[in-house]
Structure 1
Amino acid sequence: MPLAALSFPMIDPVAVSIGPFAIRWYALAYVVGLLGGWCYAKRLAARADDWAGLRQPKPLDIDDLIVWVAFGVVLGGRLGYVLFYNFGAYLSQPLEILAVWRGGMSFHGGFAGAVLAIVLFARARNLNPLAMLDMAAVVTPIGLFFGRIANFINGELWGRPAPDFPYAVVFPHAGPVPRHPSQLYEAFGEGLILFIVMAIAVRRFGFRRPGLLGGIFVLGYAVARIVCEFFREPDAQLGFLFGSSVGALGGGITMGMLLSVPMALVGAAAIWIAARGYTRPSVAAEAA
């Protein structure tokens, strides 16, 4: 092992095992993220001042919403990974699509699935869809943080080679080359930093400008993801879509970058539209 590299902490990907029953850290990350988001969302829903002029969701609404979001995240995340990252392999073995416990989830697909679930739920409960998406945007970084930590524990989605970086890690399935612990970079950028940004934004703006917080989240995530992609090794089956890597950093374009560009544009547009008050519903519309 090169002197500059750190040993990978060999954490068993199975957190709890009782006979044939096993709970993996990967699954626990989703559970903790959803439960953490649920608790935070209930607190946000209870702050009446933040919902001035909008129909305020009830505690029972949040309890039901978490189930809708869970299905949206899992189904969308899996479908997104199958379509964008490994379509050929799953086409030859379609039953493997159901083996979600083996990993293989796409944030962009999970994001789309969650958005669809929230919009449908809001319409069914006569709530403002954009405001509900805003609330989801505030709590989502919790799940992103724990999800990236689980990626690190699993030793997957590792970074690009970094032989001279003092905190590079030799991952057990990535050969002898020290690599950036890009999963931890993403946990920090997409999780912790974005959580702080969203917590400040919701304190400042509340949900009085529907779509504003959602736009801030989408733009913030896209920027964080694109930056982190410069340190992350692209999926082996895809490689660089355009260009190539030069050393630890390079100009190669990855699928994660490509999918994040439209997110950034949508986020910026949502901020512009909401900041000008175009999404504020009329009093009559909210009272209906």
Structure 2
Amino acid sequence: MSTACALPAGPRVPPPCRERTAASRRRSVEEAIGAMRERLGEPLSLPAIARTAASSPYHFDRVFRQVTGMPPFRFLAALRLDAARRLLLTTPYSATSICFEVGYSSVGSFTRQFAEAVGMPPARLRGFAAAGTGPAALSRVPDVVDAPAAARGGLAGVVRAPDGFAGAIFVGVFTTPLPSGRPRACALLREGGPFHVGPLPDGEYHVFAAGMAAAPGAPPARVLLQDDALRAAAGPVEVRGGEAPRPVELALRPRDPVDPPILVSLPVLLAERLSGGAGDGTRPHPPAS
């Protein structure tokens, strides 16, 4: 039996061993996320989730954070809200029924968290979809794109999009690895290239980009669910003295199985930009507390 992977951890461990370990940890996290999706309505505990990955709770929590960038229960909460959004947009079920279906025990708590994460309460999201506002907003992206800025301060970088991409690219700055709630600052591009967001108070941030391809005639539910959105993330990025030390590079790619859902509704932010509801466009409404 080979003992290649039995060497002590550290610089002397052969790269193939480290790669196999990383791949094994990733598979365990993917299996756990799959189990979460199948059991959203259950009161899951950390030991129960860890068992799906054949791991101890402590080890599983540490590995899950390494792979996804966040604790298991924050990821689970994001999955529940994403499932609720999907049911709201694709079924006639009431918001109350959906609340319990995805594992919440309080309608008030569900409604508040949903509104904070997505940008509007459940009933308004359904109205937004019924009015076709999301697809209409995407079709008007050229009206509201931000010109690349040479301003100092804040955070600058570049987004690289796949060849042939056409649509809207959102760049948002968040205080957590989860694209949820109002970004601290954001920019809108029509194609890959440089961006600038700010000003930003000093602190650590996560930068997220999402590319939504123009899809004339697409059903509103498909646009609002954002399943087809490309994405990229970087962070934590430190801002000191009002400025990040170096540009951020973001390369858009398809969703990975270990990526959390995009909870913030990008078509909603775009519609607000079109209506002038976000001021000058670089600073959206303050994040929900």
Same fold (TM over 0.5): no
Q: TM-score range by the shorter chain?
A: under 0.3
- Larger relative contact order (C-alpha < 8 A, sep ≥ 6)? 1
Which structure features the higher share of strand residues?
2
TM-score (norm. length: structure 1): 0.26
TM-score scaled by structure 2? 0.26
Q: Which has the higher helix share?
A: 1
